[in-house]
Structure 1
Amino acid sequence: VLLLENVRFHPGEEKNAADFAQALAANGDLYVNDAFSAAHRAHASTEGLARLLPAYAGEQMRRELDALNAALGAPKRPVLGVVGGSKVSTKLDLLNNLVGRLDALAIGGGMANTFLAAKGVDVGGSLCEHDLGDTARQIMAAAEKAGCELLLPLDVVVATEVAPGADSHVRALDAVGAEEKILDAGPKTLARLIAAMDASATLIWNGPLGVFEVPPFDKATVAAAKHAAGLAKSGGLVAVAGGGDTVAALNAAGCAEDFTFVSTAGGAFLEWMEGKTLPGVAALSQ
């Protein structure tokens, strides 16, 4: 076994320079890529090298691709998606792709506030991209046209500060105060999400439902994760999750090991969910 230094120190790596790829290829007879987390990058070590040697996917790469195919490529239906996180702007491509491929899509986290505001809900002092109201309405219309049920919050948990143990309250959508921030999904929202999981055969999850890093605003994410994990463990649900925040949330809930599969990738997982071709995977396929 020969361990080379991090190839990203070399200027030819990110440029996918042909001479650098050839220099790497001179070190071996076969190429095995086991780095799905870097497969969305067309670099010398992930794409150029695969075209110069007999190329294969490693076992971790195979497990990733098999799991993602089971979740979104050729899934058992009905398929439920859970997408959370802070901003709609970072997940526009993801949302536009998913509404055309899922049976239901639950939106949580700060990005749900943008959708609520687009429907005329006063979200008070919450994180919200008000300038994306038209975009949110377009996504809602696309979901309706595609027959994808969009599950937005029915109630919310609010506080005036984001701090551990902060004084929090459950609010109806029409009762959020001007100074209050929406920081988690409420009990009615959680109950409906759990019911949607019970009615689904496949779940694909990216992003938390609230500010899970700061208790007590982790309750909905933890409860939903534990329920999904229980269904997956009993064989009632194919549950696949990925993305840095998502993995951290599942680990915090202590249930990551019971999911069908938890992706090791961040950007590559997101781009695959967006329906984009991953250069590192395409090079192996060819």
Structure 2
Amino acid sequence: MAWKTLDEMDLDGKRVLTRVDINVPVKDGEVTDTTRIERIAATVQDILDRGGKPVLLAHFGRPKGERRDDMSLQVLIPALESVLGVQVIFAADCVGPAAAAVVDSLQDGQVALLENTRFHPGEEKNAPELAQAMAALGDVYCNDAFSAAHRAHASTEGLAHLLPACAGRLMQAELSALEGALGSPDRPVLAVVGGAKVSTKLDLLGNLVEKVDMLVIGGGMANTFLAAQGHAVGASLCEHEMAQTAREILSKAEAAGCKILLPEDVVVAREFKEGAAHETVAAHACPEDAMILDAGPEAVEAVKAAIAEAKTLIWNGPLGAFEIAPFDTATNAAALFAAEQSEAGKLVSVAGGGDTVAALNKSGAATDFTYISTAGGAFLEWMEGKTLPGVAALG
């Protein structure tokens, strides 16, 4: 879909309402991870460089429409000033006189931070009157919060219809990466989908088998597919009630010409703990008292061969219980190989989702992937083929 970027907007002297995701972890009144703040810096700097006045709109936590001191954005001011390198002026509300006073007093080179949008019940209800009150504070709307784009809220969707609207640099990067991976990718396209449950990724699998050439299924999800094929999975995490659904997905993939890769061998153990005694067995030979906790070496080689064949890779979810050794082996090996292929210019690799980012960071592969999305739910819904309200409103 078509959406405007900052390059197409006149920002000189304009108040730029900039929706960002700075929902960062805070402990004892201090930000413990500034990653999300760092990722909005390019947008804020671009607006400042072109004579605009950035006015940041953001949510923080889940206050459910009530004003809560422990969810005030004011605590983020020191971290914002440190990362952005400019003075950040705080407004005690995101609409009304308090917000207007701060926005109107902004000097060149300063940034305004308006209070938590979710202190207003109308935010999550996408109330027109709240969106209009926000719009009164700005001349241009810039959405740089792809991670909140799957929510039709006043500050992510309603506001975009009331002012000239565009995507910020982070949003632009997310959309470009995802469009490249699923919209018009270089083929063959490989998707790696892992995680615990098939039931949480039905829409994702159903969409992917019609869009990709190869699909690796890993983690607990693979157990459900193995069981659906009649293989014993012992005491493994498995949704036996999803067997028919798994078979339908396999049939749909076959009809679409999508090759499904399930593990040929697996790593099993009798207990789920660091360094537990384990063995590798054929995927159809899991002992009754054992759990499948990782893909085996043959399976890893098959995944690496698929990665070597692919031109585009989309990754969501680990291949095993990556949180503890030695059951992180398959995920680490496949991720590092994908990183090598990407770094060598042979592969465009896009990954996203909470566990995925954690797994790729743990393996050391993340830095060489083409693009890592931190968007979570929005990334998943995009992969599922759903329309994201916050993106659609920019078109």
> Aligned to 1:83, which of 193, 203, 212?
193
Whichever residue aligns with residue 204 of structure 2, its letter is L
Structure 2 match to 1:155: 265
Structure 2 match to 1:28: 138
Measured after TM superposition, the shift of residue 2 of structure 1 is 1.3
> Aligned to 1:65, which of 147, 153, 175?
175
Measured after TM superposition, the shift of residue 9 of structure 1 is 2.1
Structure 2 match to 1:50: 160
2:118 counterpart of 1:17 = no
2:219 counterpart of 1:109 = yes
Measured after TM superposition, the shift of residue 55 of structure 1 is 0.4
Number of paired residues?
285
- 2:256 and 2:317 mapped to 1: Cα distance? 23
2:370 counterpart of 1:240 = no
Whichever residue aligns with residue 317 of structure 2, its letter is G
What's the secondary structure of 2:268's corresponding residue?
Answer: strand
Whichever residue aligns with residue 9 of structure 1, its letter is F
Structure 2 match to 1:2: 112
- 2:277 and 2:215 mapped to 1: Cα distance? 30
> Aligned to 2:393, which of 277, 283, 286?
283
2:225 counterpart of 1:118 = no
2:150 counterpart of 1:40 = yes
What's the secondary structure of 1:32's corresponding residue?
Answer: strand
- 1:67 and 1:207 mapped to 2: Cα distance? 18
Scaled by the length of structure 1, what TM-score is found?
A: 0.99
- 2:361 and 2:274 mapped to 1: Cα distance? 19
- 2:278 and 2:137 mapped to 1: Cα distance? 59
Segments of 5+ residues of structure 1 without an aligned counterpart are none
Q: Render the CA deviation track for 1:131-187: whole Å, top value 9, x for unaligned.
A: 011000000000000000000110000101110111111011232111100000000
Q: Render the CA deviation track for 1:244-271: whole Å, top value 9, x for unaligned.
A: 0000000001121100000120000000
2:349 counterpart of 1:230 = no
- 1:216 and 1:139 mapped to 2: Cα distance? 30
Runs of 4 or more, structure 1, over 6 Å off, are none
Measured after TM superposition, the shift of residue 214 of structure 1 is 1.1
- 1:77 and 1:174 mapped to 2: Cα distance? 32
Q: Render the CA deviation track for 1:15-54: whole Å, top value 9, x for unaligned.
A: 0000100111111100000000000000000000000110
Structure 1 match to 2:368: 258
2:278 counterpart of 1:168 = yes
Structure 2 match to 1:177: 287
Whichever residue aligns with residue 250 of structure 2, its letter is M
Measured after TM superposition, the shift of residue 5 of structure 1 is 1.5
- 2:376 and 2:321 mapped to 1: Cα distance? 19
- 2:160 and 2:289 mapped to 1: Cα distance? 55
- 1:12 and 1:55 mapped to 2: Cα distance? 21
2:190 counterpart of 1:98 = no
- 2:112 and 2:137 mapped to 1: Cα distance? 9
Structure 2 match to 1:216: 326
> Aligned to 1:131, which of 216, 220, 241?
241
Structure 1 match to 2:255: 145
What's the secondary structure of 2:280's corresponding residue?
Answer: strand
**Higher Cα Rg, which structure:** 2
Scaled by the length of structure 2, what TM-score is found?
A: 0.72
- 2:353 and 2:146 mapped to 1: Cα distance? 13
- 2:376 and 2:274 mapped to 1: Cα distance? 27
Whichever residue aligns with residue 362 of structure 2, its letter is A
Whichever residue aligns with residue 209 of structure 2, its letter is V
Q: Render the CA deviation track for 1:82-122: whole Å, top value 9, x for unaligned.
A: 00000000000000000001000000000000000000000
Structure 1 match to 2:5: none
- 2:330 and 2:293 mapped to 1: Cα distance? 10
